[in-house]
Amino acid sequence: MLWQSDYVLIKRILSLILLALSAAAAGSAADKPSFVVGWSVYVGWNPWYYMAKSGILKKWADKYNVSIKVQRFDYAPSLDAFVAKNLDACAMTNMEALDMPAAAGIDTTAIITGDYSNGNDALLARNNLTLPQLPGRKVLLVQKTVSEYLYERAMTLNGLESQTKRVKLVNTSDSDIATAFISDASQDAVVTWKPMVSQIAKTKGVKMLFNSSQIPGEIVDLMVVRTEVLNRPDGSGQRFAKALAGAWYETTKLMSGKGPETDKVLREIAAGSEDSLESYKEQLSTTNLFFTAQSAAAFTASGDFKQKMNLVRQFCFAHGLLGSSTKSVDDVAIKYPDGSVQGKPDRVRLRYECAYMQMAQMGKL
C-alpha cells in the first residue's frame, strides 16, 4: 500500500512538471477549455460539418483559445443530449428550443439565427384534394413538431381553423414517412420536410397544397448554447460563442458566391449528409439562409419576429408541449435582444442574443 501511494505521488509530481513544461512551451494549450457542438442533417445545419472538416472552425477556436468538437446526431437524440447537458451547443429550431430545453428548465440562449424555412416544409396531397376537403381524412405527419404547426397554420390561414381537429393525424416516423406515403396510394395527405418533400413531390398525382414560404420566418433554425455555459465566469463560454459566430459567417460567405469555387464548397457541405450538389442547391433555394450577420441580426431584433415567436409558443402551450405541469404559456418566458420579455420576467428560459451576430457584422470577431 505504501508503495502504491508513493507511486501515485511521484506520478502527480511528474505530471505537474510535464504540465508546466508544456505550458511554457506552447502557451497554455494544456488547459484549453473544450466544448461540444451537436448538429443533425438539415440544409441549414450541414455547414457545421463543413466548418469542422475544412479547418475553419479550428482556426477560430484557436484564435479564441478554446477547443471545439462537432458531433453529428439524429435530430431527436441531439435534443435529448442537449437537455441532458452532454452538449454545450446544438442546432435546433425555434420551436424545439422552446419546448425541449427551455420547457425542461434549461436556460438556453440562441446566438446564431441561421435561416428560416422558406418552402422546406410542405403539406402535399394526392387525387387533387384541396385543403377544405381534408376534414374527415387522414394526414401523415410527425406529430407535435413543426409539421403539425405548419398544418395548423395552413388551416388557419385558409379560414378552416374550426375544422383543424376534424382531420385525423397519423403520427408517422420521419425515417419512414416518405416510403409510407409513396408506396401506400390510399393515403391522402402528408406533411413533412425536405429532402422527403422533394422525393414525395416527384410522385405522380401528388400536389403541394401549402408550404412554409407562405409563413416566412416562423420556422427558424438556430444555434443555441446553454446560458450557464455562455456565462462561465472565466469567459471561456463567450470566447466559444465568438468562435462559433466567426466560423459560421466565414462559411456562409463562402456559400453565398457563385461559380465553381462556391460549388466546390457547397458540394462538400452536401457531403455532410451524403447529398448531391444539385439536391443541396435545390434545398437551399427554399431556405432563407442569412448569409450575412447583418441580415440575421436584423431579423432576430425585429418586432415581427416577436409576433411570430408568439404564434409558436401559443401552439406549444395549446398542445401540451411545455409539459403538463406548465399552467400558463407565460411560465416559459422568452427574452429578446431589446430586453423585452414575452411571459413572466422571472421565468425567462429562452434568450435571443444578437451580440455575437453584431460583432461579426462589424468585423469585431
The contacts of residue 146 (CB under 8 Å, 6+ apart) are: 93, 95, 117, 121, 193, 219
Residues near another protein (CB under 8 A), total: 38
The residue type found at 353 is: E
3 state SS of 93: strand
- Residue 105 CB, shortest distance to another protein, in Å, is 3
User: Is 165 one of the binding residues for another protein (CB under 8 A)?
Assistant: yes
Nearer to another protein (CB atom), residue 105 or residue 345: 105
User: Is 173 one of the binding residues for another protein (CB under 8 A)?
Assistant: yes
List the one residue from 11, 12, 166, 327 that touches another protein (CB under 8 A): 166
Q: Which stretch binds another protein (CB under 8 A): 10-18, 38-46, 76-84, 276-284?
A: 76-84
The residue type found at 79 is: L
Instruction: Report d(CA 303, CA 215) in Å as an integer.
Output: 16
- Residue 343 CB, shortest distance to another protein, in Å, is 14
User: Is 4 one of the binding residues for another protein (CB under 8 A)?
Assistant: no
DSSP per-residue letters across 195-245: THHHHHHTSTT-EEEEEGGGSTTSSEEEEEEEHHHHT-TTSHHHHHHHHHH
With residue 30 as reference, give the H or E element that holds it.
none
User: Is 66 one of the binding residues for another protein (CB under 8 A)?
Assistant: no
* Locus of grid cell 401552439: 315
DSSP per-residue letters across 239-268: HHHHHHHHHHHHHHHHHHS-SHHHHHHHHH
Nearer to another protein (CB atom), residue 171 or residue 285: 171
- Residue 324 CB, shortest distance to another protein, in Å, is 6
User: Is 53 one of the binding residues for another protein (CB under 8 A)?
Assistant: no
Binding footprint of another protein on the chain (CB under 8 A): 76, 80, 83-84, 99-100, 103-106, 138, 140, 143-145, 165-166, 168-173, 176-177, 179-180, 183-184, 186-187, 319-325
